[in-house]
A and B are shown apart, each in its own frame.
Chain A
Amino acid sequence: MATFKYLRCHSLDEAIDLLATHARQARILAGGTDLLVSIRDGLESPRYLIDIKPIAELHTLALEDGLLRIGASVTVNQLIDFEHLPAGMDAITEAASCLASYQIRNRATVGGNICNASPACDLGPPLLVLGAKVETISKRGRRTIPIEDFFEDVKVTRLEPDEIVTAILIPSPRGGVSTFLKRSRIKGHDLAVVNAAGAVTKDGNLRMAFGAVAPTPILVDDFNGARLDDTARIVDVLMNAISPIDDVRASAVYRKYMVEALAKKILETLMNRLQG
C-alpha cells in the first residue's frame, strides 16, 4: 500500500483544522472500507488520512424530537441494531441489512457510504425517499444539505474539500411507510445491479429512489399524480428518469427490467404496509 501519514482526531475542531491545513492532500478516514480499497488499487494516494472515528460526537444515534440523528461515524451494523428506529423508516434498516458482509458492516459507516457517493451505494435510495438532510461542518461553519442535492456525479459530492459530514438527519415519517430492495448478481454480499427504495406519506405521496441506474442515486418524486396502484404509469415515469449504462455488473437493458421489477414489488409492499 502507498504510504501516508495517519492522523487521529479526538475532536471535531482538530479534524477541521487538519483538513483545512492539508486540504486536497488529505482524506477523511471513517471505516476505510471504501478508502483503503481505493488506495490499494492506486486510485487515490492521499498524503494524510484523518481518522475521525475517535470523535465521540460523530457516534450519536438518537431520536431528537421525532428527528432521527445518525452520526456520520455510526456503523452500518449499529444502525441495524438500533432499537428506537421510528415506524416508517424500514427502508433504512432493510438497506443497511443487505450492505456488504457482517464484518464489513462493523467498520462501514453511514457517513462513509454517502460521502463515497458510489452510484450503487445502498444507503442512498432510502435516505433519498425519507427526505434526509446531511449536516456538515468546516472552518466556515455548519450547514445542512438536502440529500437530493448532496450527490453530484459518480463518486463526487457537493462537499467542499475542507468539509466533514457530521450527521444525517431523517425527519419522522409521520405515519408514512417505506421499503428497500436490492438486486445483485448473487445472494451473498455483492454490490447492487440495481437498488431501490420507496416511501409513501400517510396522504399517499410517493417517493421512489434508485441506485446504479444513473451517475448518482436518483430520486423520483413527481409521478404526474399517478395513483399508487397505477403501476404502469409509475413505471413509465421511472423509465424516463433513469439513464443506466452497460458495465461489468449488468447491461443497461437488464437494469431497466430490474427497475421495473423492483418498482412493482416496492409498490406492492408499500400498499401492504399502508394497510397493515
Chain B
Amino acid sequence: MKSISIKINGEPLALDVEEHWTLLYLLREHLALTGTKEGCGRGECGACTVIVDGKPINSCLVLAPEVDGCEITTIEGEMRNGRLSPLQEAFIEMGAIQCGFCTPGMVMSARALLMRNPDPSEDEIVEAICGNLCRCTGYEPIIRAIREAAKRERNHER
C-alpha cells in the first residue's frame, strides 16, 4: 500500500492504493468513476483516456502510485456548473455518439486538445483522437463535433 494525494475533477483527495493498481482500476473500482472505460488494457483503444496535469494519457498504462500529487480530470469533470460543456453538446448534436463506449475517452482527448490548441485544424483533430478507437461512427461526425465545439468555445470566450 502507498498513500497518495491527488486532485480529481477539482477535489483534493488522499487515499491508499495498492502499488500495482492502474489509475484506471483506481478510478473505476475504488472511486466509482466508471465513466472512464476499459477497452483493451494495453494502450491501444483510448477508451481509458483521462487528463493528468493537462495531458491526455491512457489510464490503463499508468500506475496509481505514479499520479501522486497530480491533478486528474475524467469525463465526470467535463460538465460546467451542472450543464453540458459545448464539447458535450456538439457531440450529441453532430451524431458523434452511437454506442457511447468510446465517448468518454474521445471527449477527454478532445478536451485536452482544445486546452492546448483552441483552434485546431482538421489534421490536428485527427492526430489528437487517432489513439481513440471508435467502432460505430466512422469518426467523421466526431471530427466535425470537435471542430464545432472549438468554434463555440472560442466565440464564448470572446
Contacts and interface: CB of A to CB of B under 8 A. Distances in A.
User: Does A associate with B in a complex?
Assistant: yes
Interface of A: 1-6, 8, 29, 32-33, 36-37, 40-41, 49, 51, 53, 77, 100-104, 106-107, 188-189
A103 B131 contact: yes
Contacts of B132: 101
Interface in B54-111: 55-58, 61-63, 65-66, 68, 109
A189 B130 contact: yes
Given A103-B109, A104-B131, A106-B57, A6 B2 contact: yes
A103 B57 CA distance: 4
Contact of A107 (B41, B61, B109): B61
Contacts, number: 76
Contacts of A77: 55
B154 interface: no
B36 interface: no
Nearest to B52: A106
B42 interface: yes
Interface string B21-48: 0100000000000000000011110100
Nearest to A38: B42
Given A6-B63, A32-B61, A40-B41, A101 B20 contact: no
17 contacts: A3-B20, A4-B20, A5-B19, A6-B66, A8-B68, A33-B43, A37-B42, A40-B41, A100-B43, A102-B130, A103-B57, A103-B58, A103-B109, A104-B58, A104-B61, A106-B55, A188-B130
Interface residues on B, range: 20 to 34
B131 A101 contact: yes
B68 to A, nearest CB: 8
Contact of B46 (A6, A37, A51, A103): A103
Contacts of A1: 20, 22
Contact of B65 (A6, A40, A101, A188): A6
Given A33-B43, A188-B130, A103 B56 contact: yes
B77 to A, nearest CB: 17
Given A3-B19, A6-B19, A100 B131 contact: yes
A53 B57 CA distance: 15
B19 A103 contact: no
A32 B19 CA distance: 14
B65 A8 contact: yes
B61 A33 contact: yes
B127 interface: yes
A171 to B, nearest CB: 30
Contacts of B62: 32, 107
B65 A36 contact: no
